[in-house]
Chains A and B, each alone.
Chain A
Amino acid sequence: MGRLRGLVVDDSAVMRKMIERTLTQAGVPVGELLEASDGWEALAKAKAQRPDLILCDINMPTMDGLEFLRALKAAPEGGNTPVVMITTEGSEARMGEAATLGARGYIRKPFTLEQVKAQLAPILGAAPEGK
């Protein structure tokens, strides 16, 4: 597998760092990790830099994670990018909404390394090579 370009979207810088460390511990081959603190910033980076994988919080100011997901999937640059929600929101309704909008996985905070691995494994198995 080649090195991936990832995008972590969370309004907490500490949580973005924790997710980065977890990806490393999970053995995810991240070559470059982009960061965004809300949906608007994430959308701009996703369109401009075409990440291979996006990990996105839901509860964020200005544009939340579900609005971001809806906008990304509607954009020609982002329709196929796998997005995994990583959030404190554990309701069935929110999980169902995320799945309907095209999320490929859903990780509840607080999360374990095993939960992250389990959610990313099916996606990483199909990740593009060569970056």
Chain B
Amino acid sequence: MSHLMFYPETGWTPLIESATREVFEVMLGAKLEPFQDDPSLVTEMIAMVGLTGRVAGVVSFHCTAQGARAMAAKMLGSAAPEEDSARDAVGEICNMVAGSFKNKLGQVGDECKLTVPTIISGAECMMQASPGGTHVQMPFSYEGSPIAVVLDLRN
């Protein structure tokens, strides 16, 4: 297996953006809108999925508690999901975004593996990328709530 750094011709942004949109359109029946306001990543819930192999790093998904409940409600078909379901839903969304992103890498993605999701929650959660790596941040709006998908890759 080659350990040379891989860089897609299109850059990373279209890949992570299309992976995110695909998950929301197929699994939640939702078309994501661009988020125009402050793209700060200070949120209330963060899910993370690690990626190992020729493309190594973390895909993370950031949202508010209200947004997490809205996504869980849509996935479960229930009006008022519990806190555990909201966390679970956010983890699964992040897992699918990371999987879809990996699948878009073709043969290089085939050589990569994903970790199971980790979810953290609390007031003003914040995640900071390692210096020197690739950082792509995609802010969206889901039913009026801000969400963000972040790709942090090791160079």
Tell whether A pairs with B: yes
Chain A contacts to B: CB under 8 angstroms: 11-15, 17-18, 21, 59-61, 87-94, 108-112
The answer to whether B77 has its CB under 8 Å from any CB of chain A is: yes
Q: 9 A-B residue contacts at CB 8 Å?
A: A14-B88, A18-B27, A88-B95, A90-B102, A92-B110, A108-B99, A108-B103, A111-B27, A112-B26
Interchain residue pairs A-B with the least CB separation, the first 7: A88-B99, A91-B110, A110-B26, A90-B103, A12-B92, A110-B27, A14-B88
Rounded to whole Å, the gap between the CB of B65 and the closest CB of chain A is 16
A13 near B85: Cβ-Cβ < 8 Å: yes
Cβ contacts under 8 Å, B151 to chain A: none
Closest to A110 in B: B26
Task: Kindly provide the distance from the CB of A89 to the nearest chain B CB, expressed in whole angstroms.
Answer: 7
CB of B126 within 8 Å of the partner chain: no
Interface SS of chain A: loop
Is there contact, CB below 8 Å, between B85 and A60?
Answer: no
**B interface list, Cβ under 8 A from A:** 22-23, 26-27, 72, 75-77, 84-85, 88-89, 91-92, 95-96, 98-100, 102-103, 109-110, 114-116
**Count of CB-CB pairs between chains A and B under 8 Å:** 67
Q: Which residue of B lies closest to A95 (CB)?
A: B110
B75 and A14 contacting across the interface, CB-CB below 8 Å: yes
Q: Is A18 a contact partner of B103 (Cβ separation < 8 A)?
A: no
Contact A18 B114 (CB under 8 A): no
A residues in contact with B91, CB < 8 Å: 12
CA distance A90 to B97 in the complex (A): 12
Known contacts A14-B85, A59-B95; is-contact A89 B114 (Cβ 8 Å): yes
Q: Which residues of B contact A12 (CB under 8 A)?
A: 88-89, 91-92, 95
Q: Within the complex, what minimum Cβ distance (angstroms) separates A25 from chain B?
A: 10
Q: How far is the CA of A112 from the CA of B57 in the complex (A)?
A: 28
CA distance A92 to B75 in the complex (A): 28
